[in-house]
Amino acid sequence: MTARFDVLAIGNAIVDVLAHADDRFLEENGIRKGAMTLIDEAGAAALYDKMPPGVEVSGGSAANTAVGVASLGGKAAYIGKVRDDVLGSVFVHDIRAAGVAFDMEPAKEGPTTARCLILVTPDAQRSMNTYLGACVGLTPADIDAGLVTAAEVTYLEGYLYDPPDAKKAFHKAASIAKAAGRKVALTLSDPFCVDRYRTEFQELVADHVDILFANEAEIKSLYRTQTFEGAMTIVRDKCELAVLTRSEKGSLIVNAAGTHKIAARTLGPVVDTTGAGDLYAAGFLFGLTNRRDLRTCGELGSLAAAEIISHFGPRPETPLRQLMARDAF
């Protein structure tokens, strides 16, 4: 059956609050540089009080990927949970206005829409502090089987393992996709997220995942290897396709047939790396679902990531299809 969507992304629906900060601010507030740390509502309020002036932008890892696919001209859909509050309406507006199919009703009660307090240091690294809020309300009932079946790839974020019912929703979606002969893609999300769910993620990758996205720290954490090469050797046998990103060192596309090495790109100075991995995945999956060869998929990933790190925030400022056309992809 022809898919109605190239990619269905499922994840924690979050609004980001981004601010510039120096390394001392991270140290003084016990923030793990480059990582995603979960905080509760009181912790979020306390950190926000201390943060410099900020900018609010819709975020959420898989949501950023869905928006990236749409920005490239692909057909994307999204599942994630917000509350019927101001930040929830911002999230819903932004993802729909970006051209992503998103039809879920916001929750009418319970915790507020999730927010992620992001400190961007002068080296363009982002350190994230997430209050999951309404995301804990995502349950298997929110997984529309028709939508999963209608998507060529169902893309899941590892972060979904943090809210317990969302993890069940994750598994339901993966099962439906498999049963329908669709592909399941997973991003490992964050090395500390891998620490929290290592055994489960190993089983997932071996048994359910067709396409795995991971950065260097995540894949080494998954297989507890000292070297990147060691992890790459292991993952090659575990799933159909592994896409391993290494920041400025580029990315590697790994499958049984071999390895493609793709260069990283920039479009001017690197301002903020928030969303780099999410947009790389968007470019790659857009390429894959539009029948491009693996090298081109990787190059589209590099291009989409290059746009996102050239400015503040994890959503494209320039329509990615414009950049793709300019570069004659």
What is the binding site for a copy of itself (CB under 8 A)? 19-20, 48-49, 51-58, 67, 85-87, 90, 93-95, 97-98, 112, 311-313, 315, 317
CA distance 5 to 69: 10
Nearer to a copy of itself, 36 or 57 (CB): 57
Instruction: Let me know: does 31 contact 37? Beta carbons within 8 Å.
Output: yes
Least Cβ distance, residue 93 to a copy of itself (angstroms): 6
Do 124 and 313 contact (CB within 8 A), yes or no? no
Least separation, in Å, of the C-beta of 132 and a copy of itself?
17
* CA 124 – CA 134 distance, rounded (Å): 29
152 vs 272 by CB, closer to a copy of itself: 272
Question: Smaller CB distance to a copy of itself: residue 52 or 110?
Answer: 52
User: Exposed e or buried b for every residue in 287-303, given b needs 16+ CB within 10 A?
Assistant: bbbbebebebbbbbbbb
Cβ–Cβ under 8 Å, residues 209 and 184: yes
Residue 107 contacts residue 13 (beta carbons within 8 Å): no
Q: CA-to-CA distance for 322 and 329, rounded, in angstroms?
A: 10
CA 88 to chain centroid, in Å, comes to: 19
Closer CB to a copy of itself, 53 or 181, in the complex: 53
Complex with a copy of itself: residue 85 or 210, whichever CB lies closer: 85
Query: Rounded distance, CA 277 to CA 306, Å?
Result: 10
User: Nearest distance from residue 303's CB to a copy of itself, in Å?
Assistant: 19
Residue among 55 and 263 whose Cβ is closer to a copy of itself: 55
CB of 44 to a copy of itself, least distance (A): 11
Determine the Cα–Cα distance for residues 128 and 105; give it in Å rounded to an integer.
Answer: 27
What is the C-alpha separation between 320 and 329, in angstroms, rounded? 11
> Which residue's CB is nearer to a copy of itself, number 183 or number 311?
311
Least separation in angstroms between CB 200 and a copy of itself: 34
Amino acid at 291: R
Q: Minimal distance in Å, beta carbon 89 to a copy of itself?
A: 8
The SS3 call for residue 104 is coil
In the complex, least distance from residue 289 CB atom to a copy of itself, rounded to whole angstroms: 22
- The position carrying tokens 């491009």 is 292
Q: Which is nearer to a copy of itself, 15 or 148 (CB)?
A: 15
**CB count in 10 Å sphere of residue 112:** 18
As measured in angstroms, the least distance from the Cβ of 42 to a copy of itself is 14
